[in-house]
Amino acid sequence: MSFPLLTATAALPAIGAVATAAVPAARRTAAKWLALGVSLGTLALAITVLVRFDPDGARYQLTESHAWIKDFGVRYELGVDGIAVALLALTAVLIPFVILAGWHDADPLETGSRRWRPTQGFFALILAVEAMVIISFEATDVFLFYIFFEAMLIPMYFLIGGFGDRAHEHGEEAASTQRSYAAVKFLLYNLVGGLIMLAAVIGVYVVAGNFSLTEIAQARANGSLHMATNTERWLFLGFFFAFAVKAPLWPLHTWLPNAMQEATAPVAVLITAVVDKVGTFAMLRFCLQLFPEASKWATPVILVLALISIVYGALLAVGQRDIKRLVAYASISHFGFIIMGIFAMTSQGQSGATLYMVNHGISTAALMLVAGFLISRRGSRLIADYGGVQKVAPVLAGTFLIGGLATLSLPGLAPFVSEFLVLVGTFARYPAIGIIATFGIVLAALYTLVLYQRTMTGPVKPEVSAMPDLRARELVVVAPLIVLLIVLGVYPKPVTDIVNPAVKQTMSDVHKTDPKPSVEAAK
């Protein structure tokens, strides 16, 4: 193709961000519709990428390559495999719902308020994040990837710190302090990870003489490039540390609960369903392809950390009083499953991990956005402030229940398939890790059902007695996500067909094959 489809998919939201920010202050509604239109246009381009992509074709497709900084071997190099296509589609699908859900989140408050916020800026920042995430999924030049991996921190910082949640039990001044703390903590954690990764990126250039992922991987495969064992391990750790912060993996996770608690619900979805996926995606694309031997060397420790994330995140979710912090700790547990699947080094585990990234994005978006609608009605994030909601707002309660059941991986909903594949893949090579990880499933049922019981059942509290049910705009946001959860739960084949060939290539990169069954099938 002569048309640069991948560039267009990332450029459209970037241009849309600039155009949205330039809308006059008096035309707030026009800015919203412009942002929504741009996000739908980006979705159309992502669907085109999906249609054009051939799962059985070349590893990287729709490629673009142009010289950028010749003296340092930096190229503007793009290409997508099945894993990148799946996550690009997830991003493009979720952003319109994020924009619709946050339709009134940046409206100006009362005259003279210290929290007057430009509506245009809110939606422009969302589009900027989308553009940077998409090009991160597309980049096959390590330096190009690093630029946007770090650049996305800037709009996210302002979305958390400047457009935080209006529901706060301690008043405006305390809310402003907490938002600033959460935004700075998010930025510092990720900047430290990024600086360590920068040193590793420079190390890759020193060793390989260029930044091209495809050229380096090919040189490693044909033996023309050899990395000393210690060098490869140090470079791997530099990359993995940055990705583990972004993912987030225990013990580098502590920024996430603060960020999700203080952000608006749509921005919280942007964090955990979109931005954090760049970390786990990069583990598959860069860690395993560039440093296959070091990846195998680090696998036992990473699996233990992933296991701790699964159990620790679930245990802390059980004890939360704040709805959004509960979802944040549940996400930490889910990311533990994803990372466990990646480093189980089995095709089932890695296919399940990739499918988990997609399904977790959809299920978390459904649960968090409905929770956001609930919180906006009551003005509180505290679980204790609710009760009997299902009697006054049954549609809201029903969608909240489906989102919660997806979070606990109920059979018939999308996350079940991915969690099952991750566990099967882990059991095949590391049975003890797999057995302990199943404890996280039990805890997920506990924190999800207790949350629903405390907020939706029981006597109707006076404060929620007049709570309205979901409105038309909110139903437009939630209904498609519920449909996706059911469809992919019953029929995940379209996604697995795209992902599996790329997983097979990744397994080949690390020179791993699936373990043979310990018991032969009866003839």
- Using CB atoms within 10 A of its CB, is residue 233 exposed (0-12), middle (13-18) or buried (19+)? middle
- Using CB atoms within 10 A of its CB, is residue 11 exposed (0-12), middle (13-18) or buried (19+)? middle
For residue 112, what pLDDT is reported?
45
For residue 405, what pLDDT is reported?
93
Mean pLDDT of the chain: 88
195 has pLDDT over 50: yes
Which helix or strand (DSSP H or E) is residue 220 part of?
Answer: helix 213-222
β partners of residue 74: 69
67 has pLDDT over 90: no
484 has pLDDT over 60: yes
DSSP state of 327: H
Strands 74-80 and 61-69, by their bridges, are antiparallel
pLDDT band, very low/low/confident/very high, at 311 (cuts 50, 70, 90): very high
- CA 191 to chain CA centroid, nearest Å: 18
How far are the Cα atoms of 217, 305, 496 from residue 418, in angstroms, in the given order? 28, 20, 10
In the chain, count H helices and then E strands: 22, 2
What's the pLDDT tens digit per position in 11-32? Answer: 999 999 999 998 887 788 888 9
Q: Is the peptide bond before 118 cis (omega within 30 degrees of 0)?
A: no
What's the pLDDT tens digit per position in 499-508? Answer: 999 998 888 8
Q: Which residues have CB under 8 Å from 56's CB, separation 6+? A: 501
Distance CA 91, CA 196 (A): 27
DSSP state of 212: B
Q: Is the peptide bond before 248 cis (omega within 30 degrees of 0)?
A: yes
DSSP state of 26: T
Task: Select from 281, 257, 283 the least CA-distant residue to 271.
Answer: 257
Distance CA 147, CA 201 (A): 11
Token pair for 119: 């509506």
Distance CA 267, CA 73 (A): 36
For residue 310, what pLDDT is reported?
94
pLDDT band, very low/low/confident/very high, at 209 (cuts 50, 70, 90): confident
Buried b (16+ CB within 10 A) or exposed e, 68-90: eeeeebbbbbbbbbbbbbbbbbb
For residue 175, what pLDDT is reported?
66
As a whole number of Å, the CA-based R_g of the chain is 22
For residue 367, what pLDDT is reported?
93
Residues 236-248, mean pLDDT to the nearest whole number: 93
At which residue do the structure tokens 């800026």 appear? Answer: 121
Distance CA 236, CA 204 (A): 10
- Residues of the chain above pLDDT 70, percent: 94
For residue 207, what pLDDT is reported?
87
Give the 3-state DSSP-derived string for 147-161, with helices as H, strands as E and coil as C: HHHHHCHHHHHHHHH
Distance CA 207, CA 225 (A): 8
Q: Of the ranges 63-67, 218-222, 336-340, which is most confident?
A: 336-340
pLDDT band, very low/low/confident/very high, at 522 (cuts 50, 70, 90): low
SS3 102: coil
SS3 514: coil
Distance CA 124, CA 150 (A): 18
Token pair for 34: 């412009």
Residues 172-178, mean pLDDT to the nearest whole number: 69
What's the pLDDT tens digit per position in 399-456? Answer: 999 999 998 889 999 999 999 999 999 998 899 999 999 998 899 999 999 999 999 8
What's the pLDDT tens digit per position in 102-147? Answer: 888 877 665 444 444 588 888 999 999 999 999 999 999 999 999 9
Distance CA 87, CA 281 (A): 8
β partners of residue 75: 67
Domain ranges in the chain are 297-513
169 has pLDDT over 80: no
For residue 113, what pLDDT is reported?
44
375 has pLDDT over 60: yes
SS3 39: helix
β partners of residue 263: 164
The backbone torsions φ and ψ at residue 140, rounded to the nearest 5 degrees and listed phi first, read -115, 10
Q: Give the CA dihedral 228, 138, 367, 245, nearest 10 degrees.
A: 30
At which residue do the structure tokens 């990126």 appear? Answer: 201
Residues 349-356, mean pLDDT to the nearest whole number: 93
SS3 368: helix
